[in-house]
């Protein structure tokens, strides 16, 4: 099957279909589905509590859905032969124990995927944490923690990058860095899926948009399609989600 794919094909198609998640009798996801494709930045947008994080956690095999599928290249995440080289994930926080150093954290993740220690130094330099590598994660600022999480996600140079609210807690310089960086990833043929509740910040970054509200997808399409007749993405977003208790 692999040989039929065009040369340079990195894979990384995300397919979510009919996902249902209930927690404590409350329906968090009501059968949602969408796709994120290689070479594009897909913005997964919705107000807080709409079900964005739950969807990403199910996609990453962290949480279990009651129904539906979330696949990467046709395979559920836990069945991926080489997860670290296929998908990189940046969820909230650093994802690292506070008493370990940034470098020690990256080392054990690298080791789990059989990556050389030199790769740890590469990603530390890439996110600008080389000087703080010997510091304990507990002493990191919020922004440094986010950069450590990004470095962890990039260890395996994965075909897919999944980011939950990547702009949260970043200063303008950090926002600019993340935006440029994600555009570059997509340009090199990789898949980028990011969630956010900040519409204005994203319009220049995303190609495709999926809007979720109260556990239901209310719009999908390219940025232009979803914006439609509205003045901008932000207006379109509020029009689409205005039924949601605002």
Partner 1 sequence: MIRAELSKLVSLPATWTTLGWTLAVNVLLTFVIAVGDAPVAYSRAGFVVLGVLATCSEYTGGQIRTTLTAMPRRVPQLVAQHTALAALTLPAALVVALSGPLITLAVAGTPVSAWGVAETTAYLTLLTLVSAAVGVLLRHTLAGVGLLLGCLFVAAPFVHEYLPDDMVTLVVSTPVLLIVAALTYRRRDA
Q: Give the footprint of partner 1 on residues 193-222 (CB under 8 A).
A: none
Exposure string over 79-114, b if 16+ CB within 10 A, otherwise e: ebeebbbbbbbbbeebbbeeeebbbbbbbebbeeee
Q: Pick between residue 179 and residue 190 the one whose CB is nearest to partner 1.
A: 190
Q: What is the CA angle 173-41-199, rounded to 5?
A: 60
Q: Examine residue 26 and tell whether it contacts partner 1 (CB under 8 A).
A: no
Q: Examine residue 142 and tell whether it contacts partner 1 (CB under 8 A).
A: no
Closest approach of partner 1 to the CB of residue 31, in Å = 19
Q: Pick between residue 20 and residue 62 the one whose CB is nearest to partner 1.
A: 62
Residue 155 has which token pair?
A: 């260890």
Query: CB neighbours (10 Å) of residue 202?
Result: 22
Residue 159 has which token pair?
A: 């075909």
Q: Pick between residue 90 and residue 223 the one whose CB is nearest to partner 1.
A: 90
**One symbol per residue from 74 to 113: x for binding partner 1 (CB under 8 A), - otherwise; what is it?**
---xx-x--xx--x-x-xxxxxxxxxxx--xx-xxx-xxx
DSSP label at 215? T
Closest approach of partner 1 to the CB of residue 85, in Å = 11
Closest approach of partner 1 to the CB of residue 240, in Å = 29
Q: Examine residue 15 and tell whether it contacts partner 1 (CB under 8 A).
A: no
Q: Examine residue 18 and tell whether it contacts partner 1 (CB under 8 A).
A: no
**DSSP per residue over 146-165, as a string?**
HHHHHHHHHTT--SEEEEES
142-154 vs 117-126: helix crossing angle, rounded to 10 = 130
Rg (CA), the chain: 18
Q: Examine residue 169 and tell whether it contacts partner 1 (CB under 8 A).
A: no
| Residues near partner 1 (CB under 8 A), total | 34
Q: Examine residue 150 and tell whether it contacts partner 1 (CB under 8 A).
A: no
Residue 220 has which token pair?
A: 């999908």
Note the residues at the interface with partner 1 (CB under 8 A). Answer: 57, 60-64, 77-78, 80, 83-84, 87, 89, 91-101, 104-105, 107-109, 111-113, 137, 152
């Amino acid at each position: 099957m692999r040989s039929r794919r065009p040369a340079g094909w990195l894979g990384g198609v995300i397919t979510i279909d009919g996902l249902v998640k209930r927690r404590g009798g409350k329906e968090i996801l009501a059968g949602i589905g969408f796709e994120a494709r290689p070479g594009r930045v897909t913005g997964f947008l919705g107000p807080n509590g709409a079900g964005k994080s739950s969807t990403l956690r199910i996609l990453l095999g962290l949480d279990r859905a009651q129904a539906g599928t979330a696949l990467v290249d046709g395979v559920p995440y836990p069945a991926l032969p080489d997860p670290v080289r296929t998908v990189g994930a940046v969820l909230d926080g650093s994802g690292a124990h506070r008493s370990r150093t940034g470098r020690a954290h990256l080392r054990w993740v690298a080791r789990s995927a059989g990556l050389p220690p030199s790769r740890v130094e590469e990603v530390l330099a890439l996110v600008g944490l080389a000087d703080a590598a010997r510091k304990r994660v507990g002493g990191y600022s919020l922004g440094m923690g986010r950069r450590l999480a990004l470095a962890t996600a990039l260890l395996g140079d994965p075909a897919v990058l999944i980011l939950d609210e990547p702009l949260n807690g970043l200063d303008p310089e950090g926002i600019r860095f993340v935006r440029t960086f994600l555009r570059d990833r997509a340009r090199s043929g990789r898949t980028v899926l990011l969630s956010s509740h900040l519409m204005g910040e994203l319009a220049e970054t995303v190609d495709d948009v999926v809007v979720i509200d109260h556990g239901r997808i209310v719009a999908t399409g390219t940025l232009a399609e979803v914006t439609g007749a509205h003045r901008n993405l932000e207006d379109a977003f509020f029009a689409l989600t205005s039924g949601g208790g605002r």
